[in-house]
Amino acid sequence: MPAQTVFETDPDEHPLLQASSIAVAIIKKARLEKWEDLNGQLPTDVELTPEQFEMIRKYERELLWIRANGATAIHCVCQVCGAWTLTTGTANTKCITFGCDGRPVKAKTAKRKK
């Protein structure tokens, strides 16, 4: 049995940011290009907490947008209203929702827990 990989997420972050961070880490670890390439199966050497698993299930459709070939395309989420965009660069400075003052945050590839 290979050693289990556990990823660290920040419980204070928007759940889509956490789901996106874990998903991109899993895709990269498995050397795949996108979430669909997993064919609905999590790699057996990755262990998620029940909370992380729930977030991934909840945002399954959103995770299909992630790309890990070359420039990583990852979610940028407004912490106030939850509106998201996809970015390969830096986070947008303004939320896309009209009248929302929230500042979007870009998901980072989740780190392995030591």
Query: Where on the chain is the footprint of Zn ion (CB under 5 A)?
Result: 78, 80-81, 83, 95, 97, 100, 102
Q: Backbone phi, then psi, for 34, in 5-degree steps?
A: -150, 165
Q: Backbone phi, then psi, for 42, in 5-degree steps?
A: -75, 145
CB 49 within 8 A of CB 56: no
Nearer to Zn ion, 43 or 102 (CB): 102
Q: Backbone phi, then psi, for 54, in 5-degree steps?
A: -60, -45
Nearest to 26 by CA among 54, 1, 4: 4
Nearer to Zn ion, 30 or 80 (CB): 80
Minimum CB distance to Zn ion, residue 81 (Å): 3
Minimum CB distance to Zn ion, residue 25 (Å): 25
Minimum CB distance to Zn ion, residue 34 (Å): 26
Nearer to Zn ion, 22 or 78 (CB): 78
Nearer to Zn ion, 66 or 95 (CB): 95
Minimum CB distance to Zn ion, residue 104 (Å): 7
Nearest to 75 by CA among 1, 5, 6, 13: 13
